């Protein structure tokens, strides 16, 4: 009795399983207009997830044929010259690569167990323009999409025009970018439904399919009567693959060419922000700085590092930015490199950091001011004068005669100053120098800095002078002409050297000559 009961229960279980499993997308009898650049996709979907190994496809030719290719391709599995297969959790797709050669009956068979199976059967009839076929020639003419569209209207079936969306084929889109493609069918008297499918070859060498559905967020599908568009935003690697648009009505289907999406890494080379200038000099005392921040951007975010060039010691490293602190910098000119690097490239800049010896500060004086020269002298509080390799005098013209600049409040920018380098050996270490070629009656500021090797001293005090005025040179090219009975016009060339950049007063004197008797 137990054995009979067990067999009965098992039979009930099998019946329930077979009845519960059904097709949600089954095969249909279809009329399809041949397109030389598109395949046919037979979709078989079950109501429950099932192992793909339980799904079998079968093909029977509409006409008996002894054609070698037809015979060869009847064995669907492991034959990717004529057919291909994609799988999802409850989906199997048969891709027919030569639809004009394989008109006939296709069967999707799902084996539930050794006893029960379910089948879905559909016939495919592929229509070709008769005028394009020449039986005496082995090749055919290239089909015109407009002619194929007319043929589709004759059979009341959809037909997708691929030529309208050639720009979307084989698109390379960076991560987080946007992919857009669309398909348009001919007009039809019968309603057309559109479906987008995604075909993907995974790294595990399996071929997967998924249906693309509008979610109002990443996937946007917009449709009207005869067209459909697909927009994918923020693409990622899971979106890589081929996209196919399928247009269907009650009489047939049309399939677009594959629209390939190739998702690539965002490739943004590192870029160091312009708060630091390459080969610039930073005086950490007079620029009032305690650290240097090197910021960089790129994709992926670059690693940023500070490196001391003298011994290529890595001082600090961080992502997107690195901070160089001046706690242990030696006196003198120190060269550092900021390096930003990601997988796509590398960029670097060099910064010269100057740390002056604050224990040595020259004292600057002046004497013998003239219209075009002044004598500068300075004193250094050290007994070893011969330790200095050179001095630099910084000077500039000032346009305000009345107000002196507070050297304690101002940050010194050497680019605002002209510079004169002095070798103290040429003056026998007397520490005096005559500045020449100044402009008369002009205000100047002078500073000085000494260097022992590459180590600078502190800046000297600032001195301000006003050069003496001088007699202008004579006017050149004086000439004139009578304008009318009571006035004349006078032209001249001003002198090259004056008291400062402008004349204060210009006098024009007119002398009347006696009339000459003829």
Residue 16: per-residue pLDDT: 44
Residue 9: per-residue pLDDT: 52
CB within 8 Å of 18: residues ≥ 6 apart? 112, 116, 118
Residue 370: per-residue pLDDT: 92
**Domains parsed from the chain with CATH numbers:** 23-266 (2.60.40.10), 268-354 (2.60.40.10), 363-466 (2.60.40.10)
**CA–CA separation, 179 vs 234, rounded Å?**
9
Interstrand relation of 104-111 and 117-127 (parallel, antiparallel or unpaired): antiparallel
CB within 8 Å of 253: residues ≥ 6 apart? 30, 32, 40, 157, 158, 246, 247
Q: Residues in the chain with pLDDT < 50?
A: 8, 11-18, 69-72, 131-135, 137-140, 407-409, 516, 518
Which DSSP string do the residues of 319-350 spell out, in sequence order? Answer: ESEEEEE-TTPPSEEEEEEEEEEETTEEEEEE
Residue 103: per-residue pLDDT: 84
Residue 6: per-residue pLDDT: 54
Point out which residues pair with 487 in neighbouring strands.
484
Cβ neighbourhood burial of 77 (10 Å; 0-12, 13-18, 19+)? exposed
């Amino acid at each position: 009795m137990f054995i009979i009961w067990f067999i009965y229960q098992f039979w009930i279980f099998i019946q329930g399983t077979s009845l519960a499993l059904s097709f949600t997308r089954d095969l249909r009898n279809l009329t399809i207009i041949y397109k030389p650049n598109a395949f046919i996709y037979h979709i078989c979907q079950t109501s429950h997830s099932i192992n793909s190994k339980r799904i079998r496809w079968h093909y029977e030719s509409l006409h008996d044929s002894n054609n070698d290719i037809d015979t060869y391709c009847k064995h669907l599995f492991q034959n990717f010259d004529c057919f291909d297969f994609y799988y999802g959790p409850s989906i199997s797709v048969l891709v027919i690569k030569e639809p004009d050669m394989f008109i006939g009956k296709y069967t999707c068979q799902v084996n539930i167990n050794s006893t029960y199976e379910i089948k879905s059967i559909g016939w495919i009839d592929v229509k070709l323009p008769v005028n394009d076929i020449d039986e005496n020639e082995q090749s055919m003419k290239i089909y015109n999409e407009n002619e194929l569209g007319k043929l589709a209207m004759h059979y009341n079936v959809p037909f997708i025009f691929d030529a309208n969306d050639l720009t979307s084929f084989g698109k390379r889109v960076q991560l987080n970018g946007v992919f857009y493609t669309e398909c348009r069918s001919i007009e039809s008297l019968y309603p057309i439904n559109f479906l987008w499918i995604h075909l993907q070859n995974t790294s595990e060498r399996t071929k997967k399919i998924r249906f693309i559905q509008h979610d109002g967020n990443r996937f946007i599908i917009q449709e009207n009567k005869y067209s459909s568009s697909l927009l994918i935003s923020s693409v990622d690697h899971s979106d890589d693959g081929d996209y196919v648009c399928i247009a269907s009505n009650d009489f047939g289907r049309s399939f677009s060419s594959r629209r390939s999406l190739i998702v690539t890494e965002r490739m943004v080379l590192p870029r160091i922000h312009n708060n630091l200038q390459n080969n610039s000099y930073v005086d950490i005392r007079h620029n009032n700085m305690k650290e240097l921040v090197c910021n960089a951007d790129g994709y992926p975010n670059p690693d940023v590092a500070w490196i001391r060039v003298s011994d290529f010691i890595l001082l600090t490293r961080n992502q997107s930015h690195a901070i160089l602190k001046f706690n242990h910098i030696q006196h003198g000119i120190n060269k550092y490199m900021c390096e930003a690097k990601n997988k796509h490239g590398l960029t670097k800049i060099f910064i010269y950091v100057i740390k002056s010896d604050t224990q040595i500060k020259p004292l600057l004086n002046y004497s013998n001011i003239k219209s075009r020269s002044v004598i500068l002298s300075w004193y250094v509080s050290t007994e070893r004068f011969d330790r200095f390799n050179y001095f630099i005098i910084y000077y500039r013209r000032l346009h305000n005669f009345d107000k002196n600049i507070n050297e304690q409040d101002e940050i010194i920018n050497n680019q605002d100053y002209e510079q004169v380098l002095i070798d103290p050996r040429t003056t026998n270490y007397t520490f005096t120098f005559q500045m020449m070629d100044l402009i008369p009656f002009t205000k100047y500021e002078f500073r000085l800095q000494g260097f022992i090797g590459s180590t600078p001293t502190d800046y000297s005090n600032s001195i301000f002078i006003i050069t003496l005025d001088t007699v202008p040179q004579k006017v050149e090219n004086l000439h004139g002409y009578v304008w009318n009975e009571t006035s004349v016009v006078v032209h001249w060339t001003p002198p090259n050297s004056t008291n400062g950049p402008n004349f204060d007063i210009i006098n024009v004197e007119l002398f009347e000559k006696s009339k000459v008797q003829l």
